[in-house]
């Protein structure tokens, strides 16, 4: 069997291109689900869908391999939908426009969706390859992974039978993931009381933009700027000398993406406009220096929105202080590094989104930790901070950590298969991101799991890129691994 099979990897990319033409933001997976169903039913495979919208496809083993243990190949249908400022892309209808550049596949101004479109493409290509000796396979395509592992959490008992699971949702070729952090979202609500602005005020705006953002798990240790935090530092700088009154504020979008832009509108005494602008300019110089390496395109600007403020209701000065101070006090970034695994983030928090509108400040934070006690501590810290600001925080989309099993038979087989193909030892690691393996493993006793995939850089941001050479390697490895799993023993 020729493990390299370059025509096979080209087939994977061709399927990925088809998937990229289908809008599939989280909670909007109907069209991609219909595509997967049509394609697999056309091959004669048995397809089921559960109440959550997850899809299971049963594929018989190759001739002579029917009695081998069933292998589950798992990927998620949704993608994070982020775009650059000024992009006219409509994620509800427009295809992702693919661009190949220097051995990498990117998108034109948006997230690429290789997380996890390439996983679906690999899974389909594997079961459509009639030259491959493979065991019985169950394809498991889940919904709404990116907003809280919803599909995995709602899997129906008996929806699949296999107890060997290959999750194709990791982002470094040559690395096998055997553990991940647990996580939870906090959704904070703080009531405020809009009122009429003071006479003689003007409407001004601060915008923080141009930041790189990224995945709140795999990129959190890179110390990139959080646009909400930068914006609130600017508001705080003004409030030290000028009594401004917030009108609205908005920043961030996805719980698992580091915010790249944020803006606030406020009423400012007309005779203090220059003081406010000077405070923002001074801070802009500082933050550009702070983030020169990580966010070289960062901008922080002050402008006059309206020379009058009579048409907009504002917060009181006291409520403005309360909002800004809460957003400054909430934790953001790495909170602790692992003491067991060098270089691994143990606990973190992403200040993911903030919206001030209709008499309420709403904030979403996303906490992760490989230690559930530390996850609880970070979440209680957020709840306490919200209470001190006169608000409350509710928990959503909690999921457990996946504890590594270094004695896993599947891991041993993967290592041997990789060595035989490429002549080098693969890396084995736990990650700070959340993976559906954690939820599936907690619900299914005896599940032997591993996660792998081609190299993807900057997921969850418009800089997302897929390394084409790594797709070829993962295709070769996946075929060889399935062929090995189809055998009756390890010989």
pLDDT tens per residue across span 80-126? 999 998 899 999 999 999 999 999 999 999 999 999 999 999 999 99
pLDDT of residue 184: 96
pLDDT for res 95? 98
> Residue 197: its pLDDT value, please?
79
**Residue position matching structure tokens 């647990």:** 182
Give which of 332, 334, 314 is closest to 385, Cα–Cα. Answer: 332
Positions marked catalytic? 78, 145
Q: Which residues of the chain have pLDDT under 70?
A: 1-7, 308-311, 488-491
Residue 7: predicted pLDDT: 65
Which pLDDT score, from 0 to 100, does residue 400 have? 92
**Looking at the chain, how many residues does it have?**
491
What does the alpha-carbon distance between residue 366 and residue 181 come to, in Å, rounded to a whole number? 12
Which pLDDT score is estimated for 491?
42
First to last CA, the chain: 16
Confidence at residue 453, expressed as pLDDT on a 0 to 100 scale: 98
Give pLDDT, residue 308: 67
pLDDT at 109: 96
Q: What is the pTM of this model?
A: 0.81
Smallest Cα–Cα separation from 333: which of 352, 353, 348, 354? 348
Q: What is the pLDDT of residue 341?
A: 84
Q: Please write the tens of the pLDDT for every residue from 399-458.
A: 999 989 999 999 999 999 999 999 999 999 999 988 999 999 999 988 999 999 999 999
Q: Taking the domain 6-181+401-485, which CATH number applies?
A: 3.40.630.10
Residue 141: which of 75, 80, 79, 58 has the closest Cα? Answer: 75
C-alpha 68/C-alpha 163 separation (Å) is 12
Kindly report whether the peptide bond that precedes residue 51 is cis, defined as omega within 30 degrees of 0. Answer: no
- CATH topology assigned to domain 184-398: Alpha-Beta Plaits (3.30.70)
Domain boundaries, the chain: 6-181+401-485, 184-398
Predicted confidence at residue 488, as pLDDT, reads 62
Answer whether 222's CB lies under 8 Å from 333's CB. Answer: no
Q: Whole-angstrom Cα distance, residue 228 to residue 251?
A: 6
> Do 112 and 455 contact (CB within 8 A), yes or no?
no
């Amino acid at each position: 069997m020729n493990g390299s099979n370059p025509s096979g990897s080209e087939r994977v990319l061709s399927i990925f291109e088809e998937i990229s033409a289908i809008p599939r933001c989280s909670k909007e997976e109907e069209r991609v689900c219909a595509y997967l169903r049509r394609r697999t039913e056309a091959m004669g495979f048995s397809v089921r869908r559960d109440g959550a919208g997850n899809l299971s496809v049963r594929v018989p083993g190759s001739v002579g391999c029917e009695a081998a243990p069933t292998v589950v190949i798992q990927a998620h249908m949704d993608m994070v939908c982020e775009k650059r400022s000024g992009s006219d892309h409509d994620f509800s209808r427009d295809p992702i426009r693919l661009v190949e550049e220097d051995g990498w596949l990117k998108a034109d101004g948006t997230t690429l969706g290789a997380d996890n479109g390439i996983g679906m493409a690999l899974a389909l290509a594997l079961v459509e390859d009639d030259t491959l000796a493979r065991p019985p396979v169950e394809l498991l395509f889940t919904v709404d992974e990116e907003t809280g592992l919803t599909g995995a959490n709602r899997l129906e008992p008996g929806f699949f039978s296999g107890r060997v699971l290959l999750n194709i949702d990791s982002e470094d070729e040559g690395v096998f993931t055997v553990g991940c952090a647990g996580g939870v979202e906090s959704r904070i609500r703080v009531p405020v009381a809009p009122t009429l602005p003071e006479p003689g005020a003007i409407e001004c705006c601060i915008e923080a933009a141009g930041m790189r953002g990224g995945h709140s798990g795999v990129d959190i240790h890179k110390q990139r700027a959080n646009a909400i935090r930068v914006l609130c530092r600017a508001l705080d700088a003004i409030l030290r000398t000028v009594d401004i009154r917030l009108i609205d504020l908005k920043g961030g979008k996805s719980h698992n993406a580091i915010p790249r832009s944020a803006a606030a509108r406020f009423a400012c005494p007309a005779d203090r406009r220059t003081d406010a602008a000077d405070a923002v300019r001074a801070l802009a110089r500082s933050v550009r220096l702070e983030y020169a390496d990580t966010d070289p395109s960062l901008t922080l600007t002050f402008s006059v929105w309206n020379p009058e403020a009579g048409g907009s209701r504002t917060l009181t000065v006291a409520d403005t202080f309360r909002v800004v101070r809460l957003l400054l006090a909430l934790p953001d970034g790495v909170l602790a590094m692992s003491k067991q695994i060098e270089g691994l983030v143990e606990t973190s928090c992403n200040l993911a989104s903030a919206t001030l509108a209709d008499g309420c400040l709403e904030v979403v934070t996303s906490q992760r930790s490989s230690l559930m006690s530390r996850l609880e501590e970070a979440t209680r810290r957020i709840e306490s901070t919200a209470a001190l600001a006169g608000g409350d925080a509710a928990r959503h989309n909690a999921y457990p950590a996946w504890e590594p099993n270094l004695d896993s038979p599947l891991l041993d087989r993967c290592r041997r298969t990789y060595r035989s193909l490429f002549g080098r030892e693969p890396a084995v690691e736990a990650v700070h991101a959340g993976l559906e393996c954690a939820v599936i493993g907690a619900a299914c006793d005896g599940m032997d799991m591993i996660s792998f995939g081609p190299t993807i850089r900057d997921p969850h941001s418009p800089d997302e890129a897929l390394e084409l050479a790594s797709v070829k390697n993962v295709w070769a490895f996946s075929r060889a691994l399935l062929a090995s799993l189809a055998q009756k023993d390890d010989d």
